[in-house]
């Protein structure tokens, strides 16, 4: 899978593809060339998943910050 397409995947899609890649890499019949190709794809998928998780975490922190500010304003 090309990096451009990986950048368009949802978290669930990227995670599921990463699981597929890992399963393929466990095959003892896989060639070195294919292993390297899959490894590179796996790294790109991992980065995509991490980016999406970090983005979601930031969004949650922002919402919690807003809620905290609103609660402080309500107290005053």
Give the CATH number, domain containing residue 71: 1.10.287
pTM of the model: 0.83
- The pLDDT score that the predictor gives to residue 3 is 77
Q: Which letter does DSSP use for residue 29 in this model?
A: T
The domain tally of the chain equals 1
Structural domain of 53: 3-75
Please check whether residue 48 is in contact with residue 14, taking contact to mean a CB–CB distance below 8 angstroms. yes
State the Cα–Cα distance between residues 23 and 3, nearest whole angstrom. 20
- The pLDDT score that the predictor gives to residue 39 is 97
State the residue for tokens 């990096």: 3
pLDDT above 80 (res 53) = yes
Averaged pLDDT, 61-72: 93
């Amino acid at each position: 899978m090309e990096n451009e397409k990986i950048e368009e995947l949802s978290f669930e899609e990227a995670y599921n593809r990463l699981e597929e890649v890992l399963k393929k890499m466990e095959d003892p019949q896989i060639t070195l060339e294919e292993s390297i190709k899959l490894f590179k794809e796996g790294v790109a998928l991992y980065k995509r998943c991490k980016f999406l998780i970090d983005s979601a975490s930031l969004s949650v922190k922002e919402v919690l910050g807003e809620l905290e500010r609103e609660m402080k304003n309500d107290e005053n």
